[in-house]
Amino acid sequence: MNQNIEKNIEVWLLDDDDTVRSTTAQWLRLSDYHVKEFKDANALLQEYKTGVASIIVSDIRMEPMDGLTLMHACLKEEKSFPFLLITGHGDVDTAVNALRDGAFDFLEKPFDPNRLIQTVEKAIQLRRVQLQHANQTSYLGDLHGLEEVIIGQDEHMVRVRQQIYTFANMDTHAIVYGKTGCGKELVAKALHDCSPRRGSPFVAINCAAIPADLFESELFGHEAGAFTSANKRRIGKLEYASGGTLFLDEIESMPLAMQIKLLRVLQENQLERIGSNTTINIDLRVVAAAKSDLQTLENFRQDLYYRLNVSQIHLPDLRHRGNDIPLLFEHFCRIAVKERGGEFTSLSPIDHETLTLYGWPGNVRELRNVALRYTLEPNTSIAKILAGYQAQEDTHSISPLPLSVKVQDFERSLIEASIKQHKGNIQLVLEQLQLPRRTLNQKMQKYGLNRIDYLK
């Protein structure tokens, strides 16, 4: 089975000539496509509905309803439905006009079977993106509870939500593992909000951001006069978080001396402020976050590890979350448009492919930034935004765009530049780029370019 074909997307083949229809269907089935044959346009139209998991390949000249009438009826219900026309020699001009009216493409009889397969596959790719977008829109509109916070349909994230529900009520310490930008603090906050401690403080500390000489004061607090700059009493984060949850991000960066003191606090449920001899009882849940296994680190105490390691949650890298990538992208675009303005348009197949192929070294945090840029520059391709984003980062930490994506983005930029230069005059574009009209139509459709947008 061709891995690029969505199993539940059918090719609806319409032709009133039994021989032509049967031969075309055989070609498609030999290429592992699921084909449903129709002899009459009315019969097909009775089964058609918005959101149907199919594309349509239809002859133009038929009775009593021709292919163009059927196409307009389908496109009236769903504007961008992939509709592929098959035409005889005398109908080429009609088919070209149909492209302007929304047809996906057309094939001129007699056509090459390989050309048919290539065109059908592109239409199925478009349909897959359309159906996924519709599913994402429905999913995002129905979110509630924890799903509104920890978003994702991928099996990894379903398991993470299940673990949060389970661990939240256990009221034990926990470790959240994940690379930078995966959402470790979001998970820690969700653990807190789903637990009986949700009415008490959630206190977050990034251990890597605190200077070693200030660490003890930050965690334990101090009394006035405890040291030179201690002008007044200060409540430390451990004491302030009592009754609630303390989130220690990048705990692997905590100095060894502080690890020993934190361990004692967790064992005794007591602490003393710096400069004080008074013991303070605390009731604390600690959720620690780390990028790598704490048990394997030489500079992390094993006894503290075992004290914290009651529950574990592992967050996957974004690149391993499959279809969650465009889902999250749309979610962040919606937020950006609501908060900062801008515009969000549905992704094209090439943009969809770019998002899923990119390595996302910055994970969800990087995706959110790219989504913001996209809403502010809606006419710019995702590949171009990522290329510009990469240029601002350390090249050693950024995974490069796949070659196929770079080539497609370059091709799109050349075509778009030519259309802009000639103000939508397609004849001049054809002459400059030395392309056949049909090829240019296909590429403009692939890249979401419409000459009307460039008319002046």
Here the tokens at position 120 are: 């059908």
Judge whether 110 lies within some domain: yes
Average of per-residue pLDDT values in the chain = 87
Given 271, 294, 315, the domain boundary residue is 315
Regarding whether 254 and 229 lie in a shared domain, the answer is yes
pLDDT at 163 over 80: yes
Regarding whether 210 and 137 lie in a shared domain, the answer is no
The per-residue pLDDT for 2 is 38
Regarding whether 307 and 372 lie in a shared domain, the answer is no
Judge whether 1 lies within some domain: no
Judge whether 2 lies within some domain: no
The 3-state secondary structure of 236-276 reads CHHHHCCCCEEEEECHHHCCHHHHHHHHHHHHHCEECCECC
**CATH number of the domain that 399 lies in?**
1.10.8.60
The per-residue pLDDT for 4 is 39
Helical spans, DSSP H, in 301-362: 302-308, 324-340, 349-357
Judge whether 147 lies within some domain: no
How many structural domains compose the chain? 3
- Backbone phi, then psi, for 55, in 5-degree steps? -125, 165
Judge whether 150 lies within some domain: no
**CATH number of the domain that 176 lies in?**
3.40.50.300
Regarding whether 336 and 278 lie in a shared domain, the answer is no
Give 398's pLDDT tier (boundaries 50, 70, 90): very low
Judge whether 17 lies within some domain: yes
Regarding whether 290 and 222 lie in a shared domain, the answer is yes
Model confidence pLDDT, tens digit, residues 275-307? 988 999 999 999 999 999 999 999 999 999 999
The per-residue pLDDT for 456 is 57
Regarding whether 118 and 33 lie in a shared domain, the answer is yes
The per-residue pLDDT for 395 is 43
**CATH number of the domain that 88 lies in?**
3.40.50.2300
Given 117, 141, 165, the domain boundary residue is 141
Regarding whether 112 and 160 lie in a shared domain, the answer is no
pLDDT at 397 over 60: no
Regarding whether 309 and 163 lie in a shared domain, the answer is yes
* Rg, C-alpha atoms of the chain: 29
The predicted model gives 70-85 an average pLDDT of 92
Regarding whether 78 and 64 lie in a shared domain, the answer is yes
- Which has more pLDDT, 166 or 3? 166
Regarding whether 197 and 230 lie in a shared domain, the answer is yes
The whole domain housing 417 covers 319-454
Place of tokens 């040291």: 227
Judge whether 146 lies within some domain: no
Regarding whether 327 and 188 lie in a shared domain, the answer is no
Given 141, 168, 195, the domain boundary residue is 141
Which residue, among 218, 296, 297, 227, has the nearest Cα to 256 in the 3D structure?
297
Judge whether 148 lies within some domain: no
Regarding whether 192 and 308 lie in a shared domain, the answer is yes
The predicted model gives 187-192 an average pLDDT of 96
The per-residue pLDDT for 130 is 86
Please, are residues 73 and 45 in contact by the beta-carbon 8 Å criterion?
A: yes
The per-residue pLDDT for 444 is 80
Could you give the count of Cα atoms lying within 13 Å of 408 in the half-sphere of its Cβ? Answer: 20
Which residue, among 152, 154, 219, has the nearest Cα to 190 in the 3D structure?
152
Instruction: Check the CA dihedral 419-421-422-423 and report its sign.
Output: positive
The predicted model gives 9-29 an average pLDDT of 93
State the Cα–Cα distance between residues 334 and 324, nearest whole angstrom.
15
